[in-house]
């Protein structure tokens, strides 16, 4: 579905940003006027325009808060947080050496933290023990009664931020009486940026300490714990749940079976063979041509170099190779919901492959273009997505 841009990457990211309006993360008029000022494929203009609106809203939020207008301040800070994230999205050429990228990420986190202090329901910042360090998280509570409730453990995937997880899932969960523990793990945004931790395919070693922490919270119902993984996180969540038996249910949003085969399908077969065989002398120049021709390919490979710690685009692709569900997904035992999106051509067939491999109680939920929910991870259709998924969870947890 084309949204405001012909460039596929710009179109999807604009839709992603606009879709967060469902939970106060955007305003449609702001999105339209911002995108109007961005020429097709112009990454410098993308950064400039989204940064400008984010800065303006941060100033509005500060003024509103100083005047005692808490709701206005909260709403402005939430939109600023999302727009700062959007402004930084395509700045992937040298994340570690780009002070402006670091500033944008910091501003996105700070404005969300300022908004969280103004929520009508409690929000608890977390540092979750993980090996000899910690992982950042937020515990979003449905109320302040201390009552035990079903609790979602939610993580993102290849590029989502901790703060964005509120707009993706927590906003809808809170309205339905769920608590949500959202976190970032190795390779993900602030953990990669501030702690230098890279993605690891054995995600169970990340999720198990988070479960341990969740069960120390008096608000968590230990019999109604749900794992929820978004995008690439759908693969990671399936892997984790195969080794962690304390979940009452698992949601794969969306289902992905093999994160190496997916990008290889997008390049010529001979180029995929060169990458796999380590023939980087020819694979590197060929990938450089593809990167010059496609915003999406360039972003995927440059971001992959950062999150996997790879030095070249071929290395970034090969780093994806261990990220699959071979010999693991069939060990998942809790009821599992696999989501699919009709328009998601990049991951076409992946959800069905996951669903077929599962041996537990399982459901496949397909979102269609006709209902406006056919994009990857149902971007732009938050209400329909939440209605179907949380109704499914309500029914499964009631049976447990």
Pair of tokens at residue 218? 């008096």
φ/ψ of residue 74, rounded to 5? -60, -45
How many distinct helices (H) and strands (E) make up the chain?
A: 17, 8
Which pairs count as long-range contacts for 94-100, CB under 8 Å and 24+ apart, including other chains? 95/193, 95/306, 96/193, 96/306, 100/47
DSSP state of 258: B
Displacement of CA 308 from its chain's centroid (Å): 16
Query: What is the Cα–Cα distance from 248 to 393, expressed in whole angstroms?
Result: 10
- Catalytically annotated residue among 72, 108, 231, 290: 231
φ/ψ of residue 153, rounded to 5? -100, 115
φ/ψ of residue 295, rounded to 5? -60, -40
In the chain, what's the furthest Cα-to-Cα distance? 63
Q: Active site includes 231?
A: yes
Query: What is the Cα–Cα distance from 80 to 87, expressed in whole angstroms?
Result: 10
Contact 322, 201 (CB under 8 A): yes
Active site residues: 231
């Amino acid at each position: 579905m084309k949204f405001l841009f012909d460039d596929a990457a710009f179109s999807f990211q604009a839709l992603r940003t606009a879709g967060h309006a469902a939970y106060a993360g955007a305003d449609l008029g702001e999105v339209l006027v911002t995108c109007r000022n961005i020429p097709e494929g112009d990454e410098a203009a993308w950064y400039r325009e989204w940064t400008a609106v984010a800065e303006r809203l941060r100033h509005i939020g500060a003024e509103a808060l100083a005047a005692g207008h808490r709701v206005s301040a909260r709403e402005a800070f939430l939109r600023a947080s999302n727009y700062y994230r959007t402004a930084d999205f395509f700045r992937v050429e040298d994340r570690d050496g780009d002070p402006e990228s670091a500033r944008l990420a910091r501003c996105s986190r700070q404005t969300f933290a300022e908004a969280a202090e103004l929520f009508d329901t409690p929000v608890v910042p977390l540092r979750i023990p993980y090996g000899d360090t910690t992982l950042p998280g937020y515990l979003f509570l449905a109320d302040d009664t201390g009552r035990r409730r079903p609790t979602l453990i939610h993580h993102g995937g290849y590029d989502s931020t901790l703060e964005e997880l509120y707009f993706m899932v927590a906003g809808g969960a809170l309205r339905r009486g769920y608590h949500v523990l959202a976190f970032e793990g190795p390779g993900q945004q602030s953990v990669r940026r501030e702690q230098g931790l890279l993605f690891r395919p054995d995600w169970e070693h990340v999720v198990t300490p988070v479960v341990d922490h969740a069960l120390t919270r008096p608000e968590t119902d230990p019999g109604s714990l749900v794992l929820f993984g978004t995008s690439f996180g759908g693969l990671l969540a399936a892997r984790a749940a195969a080794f962690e038996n304390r979940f009452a249910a698992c949601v794969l949003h969306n289902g992905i079976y093999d994160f190496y085969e997916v990008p290889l399908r997008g390049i010529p077969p001979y180029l995929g063979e060169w990458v796999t065989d380590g023939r980087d002398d020819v694979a590197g120049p060929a990938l450089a041509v593809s990167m010059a021709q496609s915003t999406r390919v360039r972003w995927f490979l440059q971001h992959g170099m950062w999150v996997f710690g790879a030095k070249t685009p071929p290395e970034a692709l090969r780093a994806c190779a261990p990220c699959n569900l071979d010999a693991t997904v069939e060990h998942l035992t809790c009821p599992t919901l696999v989501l699919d999106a009709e328009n998601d051509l990049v991951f076409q067939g992946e959800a069905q492959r996951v669903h077929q491999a599962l041996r537990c109680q399982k459901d496949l939920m397909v979102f269609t273009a006709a209902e406006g929910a056919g994009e990857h991870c149902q971007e732009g259709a938050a209400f329909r997505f939440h209605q179907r998924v949380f109704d499914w969870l309500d029914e499964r947890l009631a049976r447990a």
